[in-house]
Every structure is written in structure tokens, then in C-alpha cells.
Structure 1
Amino acid sequence: MDVERIGTDLQDTLVELTDLSLQAKQLHWNVTGRHFLPLHEQLDGLTDEVRAAADAVAERAVALGYAPDGRVGTVAKESPLADVVGGRVADTEVVAHVVAVLGTVVERMRRRIDTLDELDPVTQDLLIGIVAGLEKQRWMFDAQQA
């Protein structure tokens, strides 16, 4: 088993999920507009789901003998996600941003799923489950743009 390669995929996933959870919480605190309340609650659900996924990813890395790094400096330096704006954010901007960053995370995780096929089906299965949840979240946020 190529622990370094699998660990690197898990580390990249951990960084993205950690950043996504922090962004969701930031938006949760600062969303404004007519759809404040449902978005405020929906962002809390997203945060909880993504934090649980990040924990599962980090624990899988440890189980394989790879040391995950979820420090804020690492996440800030390595995350490929678009930054969330500071301050109050209109509900329509929140939805558009969340859809975009979820799309980025899903796309990158799907590439990892493909490469993990022969490397480690257990890790692949973990990521497949996480992507299923993220795609559902993306759908529910995206439906609000119609």
C-alpha cells in the first residue's frame, strides 16, 4: 500500500473540507437578506456535515500511518478554494459562493476517487460517501438560484 500517496490525497481532502467548514460558518454568521433564516440554518447543517467528514478523513489518514495536518496555517496556505468575503454578505451571494466552492471540492475529490480505485478501495469508499453528501448539499443550495 502506498501510504504516502493515499495520505497526500487524504491531506488535500482534509484541507479542502476544513476550509469549507470554516467558510460555511463565516457565512452562517454574516448572511443577510430575505432568506437569512433558512440559509443561516442550512449553513449550520453544512458545517456540521463537513466537519464530520473532515474528522473521518483525518482519522483514516492516522489509521494508515499518515499524520494529517489541519492547522490553520496549513489550511490557509494550501486550500484551493476561493476566499469568502468578509463582513455581511447578501443571501444571493452566499448561495452562489457555496455552490461554487462545493463544486470545486466535489470536482477535486472525484479525481482522487478515480486514482484511489487501485490504491485503496477503503479510502476510495470513504471519499465516495463524502462526495454523495456534498453533491446533495450543492443541489440544495443551487436550487435556491433558480
Structure 2
Amino acid sequence: MAKDLTPKYTVPGLEREAAGRLIGVLRLRLHALNDLHLTLKHVHWNVVGPHFIAVHEMIDPQVDRVRDMADDVAERIAALGGVAQGTPGALVEERKWQDYSIGRDSAIAHLGALDVVYTGLIEGVRGAVKEVGDLDPATEDLLIEQLRDLEQFQWFVRAHLETANGTLATAEAGTEREAAARGAALD
């Protein structure tokens, strides 16, 4: 049974029931962003090999922006009258994906796995944009702005995984581990 997230009050011009739907969508986005922040730091700490410094330094600005995105989503939830559940327990309980599965590995292997992570995240944001589009243009705008940044971050990752003829090493990978192996094959 789904939680009733209908707030006691919300922003002017928005029905409380619509706000509850928005809060539900945004809760999962908040969990995804908090998870991505931790995953990116994990990658930052566990990359090795000849591409170490390039990837190590590429990740931190992404971490910073993702933290800002999470803060924006949490504040939107609060503005709508909801509770921004930012605890690890809520994230693990409510998420719809498995934990990041790559430990200490080559930078390119991690980038292969991150490509899969970003694909899942971007698909989730696109779905959320569609879901909130008719309900609230302010929430839709917030998600669209984040979508642009997340797509750019994936582009940065994919630039390391693309061959000169335009083939993406992770194109057919279905899992993080498979994508990591395909990325590592480029080393």
C-alpha cells in the first residue's frame, strides 16, 4: 500500500492531492540523487590506473552539482508541504535499484559502470518530467534543468568510452559489471 503523501497545505494555486503526487515523484528523485552523490564519491575514492587523475578530478564537480540538485529537490518537497526524507534508511527502503556493484577498479571500468548508472537515472528523470508536466510547471522546470546537467555528465563519462569511429564500448551492456568489463577492455 502506497503512503499518502498529501500535505496539509501546499503552494498557492496547486491542489493538495496534486502536491502529494509531486512529493511522491520528488521523493524518488531525492533518493536517486543522494545515491548518485554517494556512488560518485565511491568512484572518486576507488579509481586506479593510468586514467586515475583525469577521472578523479572529473568526478568532484559532478558530486558538488548532484548535492545541489538534491538540496533543490528536498527544498521543493518542503515548499509543497511534504517531508524531505533524506535518511539512508528511507533511501534504501524506497529505492527501486540495487547498490553500485564495482569496488576498486580501473578508472575506465568505473566509467563503464557509471554510464549504466547515468542511463538509469536519466530515464527516471525523463519519466518524472512527463509525470509532473501537467501538474506543476515549477517542478517540471526544476527537473528539466537537472536533466540537462545529468545528460552532460553522462556525455563526459561516455567521451572516455567512445572509440574514434563513434562506437560506445558500453552500448549493449545491461549491467554495471558488464559495462565495467567493456570499459576496462578499452584500457
Q: What range describes the TM-score normalised by the shorter chain of this pair?
A: over 0.9
Q: Is the 8 A contact 2:102 2:113 kept in 1?
A: no
Unaligned runs of 5+ residues in structure 2 are 1-14, 163-187
Aligned AA (1:116): V
Identity %: 35
Query: Equivalent residue for 1:120?
Result: 136
Give the distance between the partners of 1:49 and 1:37, measured in 2 at CA: 19
Give the distance between the partners of 1:43 and 1:112, measured in 2 at CA: 25
Give the distance between the partners of 2:116 and 2:89, measured in 1 at CA: 23
Give the distance between the partners of 2:114 and 2:23, measured in 1 at CA: 27
CA positional deviation for 1:96? 0.9
CA positional deviation for 1:104? 0.6
Give the distance between the partners of 1:82 and 1:89, measured in 2 at CA: 19
CA positional deviation for 1:106? 0.7
Q: In the TM superposition, what whole-angstrom CA distance separates every residue of 1:5-64 from its partner, at most 9, and x where no partner exists?
A: 000011010000000000000110111111100100111111111110000000001011
TM-score, normalised by the number of residues in structure 2: 0.75
Counterparts of 1:1-146 in structure 2, within 5 Å, are 1=15, 2-85=18-101, 87-146=103-162
- Higher gyration radius (CA): 2
TM-score, normalised by the number of residues in structure 1: 0.95
Tell me the SS of whatever aligns to 1:60: helix
CA positional deviation for 1:99? 1.0
- Cα RMSD for the two superposed structures: 1.2
Tell me the SS of whatever aligns to 2:86: coil
Q: In the TM superposition, what whole-angstrom CA distance separates every residue of 1:63-109 from its partner, at most 9, and x where no partner exists?
A: 11010101011112222344223641211211011111111111011
Give the distance between the partners of 1:102 and 1:108, measured in 2 at CA: 10
Change (3 A) 1:36 1:82: farther
Unaligned runs of 5+ residues in structure 1 are none
Give the distance between the partners of 1:24 and 1:106, measured in 2 at CA: 15
